[in-house]
Structure 1
Amino acid sequence: MIDEEYKKNEEYINSTILPKLHEIQREVLKKKKSRLSLDVSVSNRYGEGYISSFACVMNDMGEITGTCSARFICVCSKEEIDERLNELKEFVKKYIA
């Protein structure tokens, strides 16, 4: 049962979450003079797959003034994964507008 749920969540992260994160990255890149940075990394260390993302905004001095991080783990429920994505999207939306 756990393996089946893990596989479903892994597929959801690969087919839905990762493309959405790439879409957010494209939006950040299109925005000229944005002080927003968004990093996305993936890992499958020890067979426990996850995606980590980190967004930050900087002031004119290059100092970080706001951050948001999210980790999308295959053992989390779909609802938890979606909630983390929404938090990240709201943070980005706040600073990209």
Structure 2
Amino acid sequence: MAMKKGCTPSQLALAWVHHQGNGDCPIPGTTKVDNFNQNIAALSVKLAPLEMAELESFGADTVKGDRYADDLITWKNSDTPPLSSWKVV
């Protein structure tokens, strides 16, 4: 589909997130201007409802569960002190 849309697979993935319609905007990190420009170009990739449905069907039966294993330290199970206790230096 990326070839058909004239974009890279990464741009297609970013466009898919952007087209979810719930205000989410992906902000992938990069240290290279060329990569940043490629990411920004994803905003010009337009996806029709049928294309969105096709993309969503690709992982419907294969993507399941949480992103991280339960024993992996993430923001979900960290011991970060409450914001009210933080001191500005």
Task: Provide TM-score, normalisation by structure 2.
Answer: 0.25
The structure in which a higher percent of residues are helix is 1
The structure in which a higher percent of residues are strand is 1
